Chain A
Amino acid sequence: MNKVVADARTAISDVQDGAVLMLGGFGLCGIPENCIAALVEKQVTQLTCISNNAGVDDFGIGLLLKQHQVKKMISSYVGENAEFERQLLSGELEVDLIPQGTLATRCLAAGYGMPAIYTPAGVGTEVAMGKEVRNFNGKDYIMELAFEADFAIVKAWKGDTHGNLIFRATSRNFNPLMAMAGKITIAEVEELVPAGTLDPDAIHTPGIYVNRIFQGVNYEKRIEQRTTRTL
């Protein structure tokens, strides 16, 4: 049951051009920094990235965008990235903007083995165009399909050799959902411990969903909007 691989480079070694990737994180919080760096180094292209945001110009998925490795983004909010907006408006990049709850629940559906969900988000808007709308108890809902992704790449706080994961604070966000939803799930963790060390009651993602895990290094954990108060 040992899921441990050496490092990010090994973990993503079979990601091919044209792959569909899920990348965890909200803004720059809880993003798989090590794997993104390895994907940049590997120079795979034509990627489809499912991720709530697209990073900033010089960090996160922004690093992949800068090298034109991304063909399509599926996200809910991309307002922090000028290069993204430039590539989008010039037609170099495809983008599918979807409601944040829909994004999360399409991951959930994949991880729970359900083909589709019904959600009221986007009824009567352009998000509903071309989709089945069904009325339940007097209210309209859009049918949205479970995601299919070749790889889910997530970042956890702690993980064990069996691939069990624990997330910290709001860096949890999409990570446990995507961890359940990839054909192959790769987890990078701040602290890798032997199986049996973590409290079974405290584990957020059971290792059955995780195929590869490694101890991450040199986390920058950049803060996007540093806001403070004074006493």
Chain B
Amino acid sequence: MALNKEQIAQHIARELRDGYYVNLGIGIPTLVANYIPTGMNVVLQSENGLLGMGPFPLTGEEDPDLINAGKQTITTVPGSVFFDSAMSFGMIRAGRVDLTVLGAMEVSQQGDIANWKIPGKMVKGMGGAMDLVASAQNIVVAMMHTNPKGESKLLPACALPLTGKRCVKRVVSDLAVLDIRDDRFHLLERAPGVSVDYIRERTAGELVVPDEVPEIQF
């Protein structure tokens, strides 16, 4: 069984460590916040100017001046701090954010990522993604392994305009966990009941498969 979006987020939460400052992108990455282990101190950064993002507000307690990077109403947690957008990207650029999780349309075996533009079809913009991938040391991509047509999104080279080059170190998809190094995808874990061959058929980029590929355990 392929992982659903919640399970992808749940699995990525295992990358969290006590004391981490973490930036979660829009979409599946946002769900990672629901799986921070109890007792672990993790501070969420929202690049529109907040460290210490809390859960969504209760109905009636929404504050129009308090939103996340996805423009959703949010809350703060004790110890939070607000700042302007230059300082926000300053702390990102300076490497102070320990973990960045973001989505992707395509990832290449070199670690290139594309997630901001489909020429002639969709022009939404890169937001903060280019800044994040250019500076973060620890980038995990949360994505579906294939597009709705069943074509691989893990490629020898990205076809879409790039967001960043040689920056992605790890991909968690609905089918597998893969590391990117030496210009190749390395299969680490597979979704429960998903065979190595099934993953191989849906990975267009070069895939290194060790003798043993454990199933993801929940």
Contacts and interface: CB of A to CB of B under 8 A. Distances in A.
Interface of A: 26-30, 52, 75-80, 85, 88-89, 95, 97-105, 107-108, 119-127, 157, 167-177, 204, 221-231
B73 A223 contact: yes
Nearest to A176: B84
Tell me if B's interface is mostly helix, strand, loop or mixed. loop
Interface of B: 46-50, 55-59, 61-68, 70-74, 82-86, 88-90, 92-93, 112, 116-117, 120, 123-131, 134-135, 161-166
Contacts of B55: 229
B67 A104 contact: no
A124 B165 contact: yes
Given A122-B134, A125-B163, A173-B84, A104 B123 contact: no
A223 B85 contact: no
Contacts of A89: 120, 123
Nearest to B163: A125
Contacts of B130: 99, 101-102, 121-122, 125, 127
B92 A225 contact: no
9 contacts: A80-B71, A89-B123, A100-B126, A122-B130, A123-B165, A169-B82, A173-B49, A228-B58, A229-B57
Contact of B73 (A30, A107, A228): A228
A94 B67 CA distance: 28
A76 to B, nearest CB: 5
B64 to A, nearest CB: 4
A225 to B, nearest CB: 4
B107 to A, nearest CB: 15
